[in-house]
């Protein structure tokens, strides 16, 4: 059995804070992805050319950006976990909260942008299996 089960009302009380945290995490996730894409494109450019001159400043800038954004993502994820949530998909902004439904452990499912908790899914299911409360 879990340490704590959440009610829909308890999760709804967290939504303003979750929204704030998840907006920062999602933005950092996008920025880190863009920086990774720049590095990969540069690697491909050099490989296709059979070598080449590397723009070290741009490369180091992208690597530093990824490190900063990764720390920001980790910080946000830790904040969500401290609230009792389990981040599931940073791109969609999904967070699950353990709930006891008819004697069975399930997840209440919140997606960034939702103002109320209206869905749940089994522990072995994901976002696509959400069911209305």
DSSP string, 38-91: HHHHHHHHHHHHTS----HHHHHHHHHHHHHHHHHHHHHHHHHHHHT-EEEETT
pLDDT the model gives residue 1: 47
Cα–Cα distance measured from residue 114 to residue 39, given in angstroms and rounded to the nearest whole number = 34
Predicted structure pTM score: 0.84
* Confidence at 40, pLDDT banded by 50, 70, 90: confident
pLDDT in tens, 65-120: 999 999 999 999 999 999 999 999 999 999 999 999 999 999 999 999 999 999 99
Contact 48, 109 (CB under 8 A): no
Contact 93, 26 (CB under 8 A): yes
CB atoms under 10 Å from CB of 128, counted, come to: 6
pLDDT in tens, 2-28: 578 999 999 999 999 999 999 999 999
Considering just the CA atoms, what is the radius of gyration of the chain in Å?
Answer: 19
């Amino acid at each position: 059995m879990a340490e704590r089960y959440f009610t829909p009302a308890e999760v709804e009380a967290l939504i303003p804070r979750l929204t704030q945290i998840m907006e920062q995490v999602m933005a950092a996730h996008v920025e880190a992805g863009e920086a990774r894409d720049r590095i990969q494109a540069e690697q491909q450019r050099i490989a296709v050319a059979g070598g080449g001159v590397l723009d070290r400043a741009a490369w180091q800038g992208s690597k530093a950006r990824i490190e900063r954004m990764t720390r920001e993502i980790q910080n946000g994820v830790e904040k969500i976990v401290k609230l009792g949530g389990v981040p599931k998909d940073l791109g969609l902004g999904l967070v699950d909260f353990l709930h006891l439904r008819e004697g069975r452990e399930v997840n209440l499912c919140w997606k960034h942008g939702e103002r109320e908790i209206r869905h749940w899914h089994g522990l072995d299911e994901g976002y696509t299996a959400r069911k209305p409360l």
